[in-house]
């Protein structure tokens, strides 16, 4: 984008990465994210959510979990959208046991949840 004279910001990268995931191009999305991390922009919590959601929807749940840990390491507080994406990805990859830990993580960050039986 820069080579074509298009001025970019974090929001335009969020849109680009989201579109790459929707086009089922997770490798390109990941490469773009890494360019951002190593380049001039600092990833925002929204960008982490876009990446985690896209990775989960494309079957890269382990990568999404690693990125989730990275998000926390950088001092960002995960949002409900982040947890929803992880729960969805873990369920679709048949890792139901791992989803049991998430409500306790939510409580640690002050989120309340309800369970229906």
Residue whose C-alpha is closest to residue 33's, from 7, 70, 5, 62 = 70
pLDDT digits (tens, 9 = 90+) for 29-46: 999 999 888 887 788 899
- Distance, CA of 36 to CA of 65 (rounded, Å): 19
- Distance, CA of 13 to CA of 54 (rounded, Å): 14
pLDDT digits (tens, 9 = 90+) for 70-110: 998 988 988 888 888 988 898 888 876 666 666 556 556 56
Residue 55: what pLDDT?
Answer: 97
| Segments making up each domain of the chain, as ranges | 10-108
- Distance, CA of 49 to CA of 55 (rounded, Å): 10
CATH node for 10-108: 1.25.40.10
Residue 70: what pLDDT?
Answer: 92
Neighbour-count burial for 42-62, b at 16+ CB within 10 Å, e otherwise = ebeeebbbbbbbbbbbbebbe
pTM for the whole structure:
0.81
**What are phi and psi for residue 35, nearest 5 degrees?**
-60, -40
Which residues does 4 contact at the CB level (< 8 Å), separation at least 6? none
Instruction: Give the orientation angle of helix 45-57 with respect to helix 10-22, to 10 degrees.
Output: 10
């Amino acid at each position: 984008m820069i080579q074509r004279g298009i001025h970019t910001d974090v929001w335009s990268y969020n849109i680009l990465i989201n579109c790459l995931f929707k086009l089922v191009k997770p490798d390109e999305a990941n490469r773009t994210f890494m360019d951002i991390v190593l380049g001039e922009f600092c990833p925002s919590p929204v960008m982490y959510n876009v990446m985690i959601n896209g990775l989960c929807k494309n079957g890269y749940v382990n990568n999404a979990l690693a990125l989730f840990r990275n998000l926390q390491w950088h001092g960002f507080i995960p949002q409900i959208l982040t947890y929803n994406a992880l729960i969805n990805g873990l369920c679709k990859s048949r890792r139901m046991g791992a989803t049991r830990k998430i409500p306790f993580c939510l409580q640690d960050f002050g989120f309340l949840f309800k369970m229906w039986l």
